Structure formats: structure tokens, C-alpha cells
Amino acid sequence: MTVAAQMLDTYPKDLGGVDRQKLIECIEACVECAQACTACADACLSEDMVAELTKCIRTNTDCADICDTTGRVLSRHTGYDANLTRAVLEACAAACKACGDECASHAEMHEHCRICAEACRRCEQACRDLISSLG
């Protein structure tokens, strides 16, 4: 059982109809994607062709920040606001799509970009799955 799952198990109140499994998967995908994007941006900075990776680095850092924030927002349940949660999830999905697309364009040359693109795709899908379950 993951830490996210354990923490949800200890929450003393009802989650208000949120799909628990989709919530766990989304929190974990956000944390994983934030780490992948941070590591990818750093790896891009170490490449000899760093000037050609400027957009990738920027997209990675934006996505990492948004995923980190989304994971934190999704980890709070007291005073839950469905509209805010939906907006944060939409922003995260958009950031993951942009970063996934950018990293995918470098994936044949840079393995770190391929791995990051995959993490972005998983996180984008997890956000969309959670949004659809919110009704």
C-alpha cells in the first residue's frame, strides 16, 4: 500500500464521493511526473546541445511545478472545492500534454526525454480520469 493510500485511509471524514482509487492514482502520477520533469530538465541542462533544449527545459520546469501543486491540492480534503479541483486538474493535464509533446520530440535523441514524455502521458491521463469521475 502506498503512502498516498495510507494517508487517505486515515482521513477521518468521508471523501465526498471522490473515486478513491482514481484519486490515489492521480496523486501518485503527479508526484512521479514532477520528479521526472525535474530530472529531465536537469539532464537537458547537462546535454552538449543545451541551447536547442531551452523550450524543453522551460516546459519541464513548468510541468514539474504544476504537477507538484496538483498533487498537494489533491492531498487536501477538508473544505473540498470541486470547481477548484477541476480547474487544477485541467491545468495539470494541459501542462502534461505540452511537456509530453515537447519531450516526445526529443525522445529519439535523449532517453531522459522519452522517459519523461511517458510520465507526462500517464499523469495527463490520470488527471483526465479523475476529472471524468468528478461528474
- How many structural domains comprise the chain? 1
Over residues 33-42, the mean pLDDT reads 98
Over residues 45-103, the pLDDT tens digits come to 999 999 999 999 999 999 999 999 999 999 998 878 889 999 999 999 999 999 999 99
CATH number for position 38: 1.20.1270.360
Judge whether 1 lies within some domain: no
What's the confidence (pLDDT) of residue 12?
84
Over residues 81-91, the pLDDT tens digits come to 889 999 999 99
Judge whether 103 lies within some domain: yes
pLDDT confidence band for 135 (50 / 70 / 90): low
Judge whether 102 lies within some domain: yes
Judge whether 120 lies within some domain: yes
Residue ranges making up the domain that contains 116: 19-134
Alpha-carbon distance values, 122 to 7, 11, 23, 48, 53 (Å): 22, 26, 14, 29, 22
